[in-house]
């Protein structure tokens, strides 16, 4: 099995440094452009199946990458973005950073001590559901020789990658940083064991600003 794991393209909330989580924010025009560039970079990949978070920004990214090809696209709730509860919509970085965002920003700067907001999800819960999704994927005999696209989000993609690497230490959740918009990681799975071949490839020329809470 070969997996191409991709983070969605840019949204206006990404650009404004707002907490998205489960909020269903669409790609902006630039985000669609990044997805189109990624589609061009992956046009020779013969995907057999694709899974996407049900959130529109991830689903649209997958649809653009697949570019009308007759490939099954399944929504998978287990790879949706982490639910941040009442933190969602808050500006947590940049010149409009809200003072009350300090507690949320522990998610990036002090993950082990991050406390979910009301209605939100914990990092442990995210790791549990992404890990379970991968186990079900690995154990599906129909997919053993298939090439699969997974379209996810910054935190859910990081959860998937950490599960692949066996990194379940919450304090080190962001040890590799936040994946770039439309960053692609290629993983081979043999006998249920994942091996990362390339991580955070980008197929566009533009310099996309890395996520920061500053």
Provide the annotated active-site residues: 8, 81
Phi/psi for 91 (5° steps) reads: -85, 120
Specify the DSSP element, H or E, that contains 34. Answer: helix 29-41
Compute CA distances 145 → 3, 128, 165, 189, whole Å: 11, 25, 21, 9
Closest by CA to 51, choosing from 29, 66, 35, 33, is 66
The half-sphere exposure of 81 on its side-chain side, counting CA atoms within 13 A, is 21
**How do the residues of the chain divide into helix, strand and coil, expressed in percent and rounded to 5?**
35, 20, 45
Dist. CA 132–CA 127, nearest whole Å: 8
Angle, helices 123-138/154-165, rounded to nearest 10 degrees: 60
């Amino acid at each position: 099995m070969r997996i191409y794991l991709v983070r969605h393209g840019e949204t206006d909330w990404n650009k404004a440094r707002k907490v998205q989580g489960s909020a269903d924010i669409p790609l902006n025009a630039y985000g669609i452009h990044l997805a189109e560039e990624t589609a061009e970079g992956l046009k020779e990949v013969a995907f057999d199946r694709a899974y996407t978070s049900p959130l529109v920004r991830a689903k649209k990214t997958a649809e653009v990458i697949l570019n009308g090809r007759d490939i099954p696209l399944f929504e998978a709730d287990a790879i949706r973005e982490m639910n941040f509860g009442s933190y969602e919509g808050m500006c947590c970085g940049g010149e409009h950073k809200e003072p009350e965002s300090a507690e949320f920003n522990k998610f990036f700067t002090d993950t082990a001590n991050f406390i979910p907001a009301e209605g939100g999800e914990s990092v442990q819960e995210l790791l549990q559901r992404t890990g379970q999704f991968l186990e079900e994927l690995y154990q599906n005999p129909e997919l053993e020789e298939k090439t699969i696209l997974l379209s996810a989000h910054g935190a859910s993609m990081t959860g998937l990658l950490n599960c692949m690497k066996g990194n379940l230490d919450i304090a080190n959740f962001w040890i590799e940083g936040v994946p770039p918009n439309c960053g692609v990681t290629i993983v081979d799975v043999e006998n249920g064991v994942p091996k990362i071949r390339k991580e955070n490839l980008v197929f566009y020329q533009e310099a996309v600003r890395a996520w920061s809470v500053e």
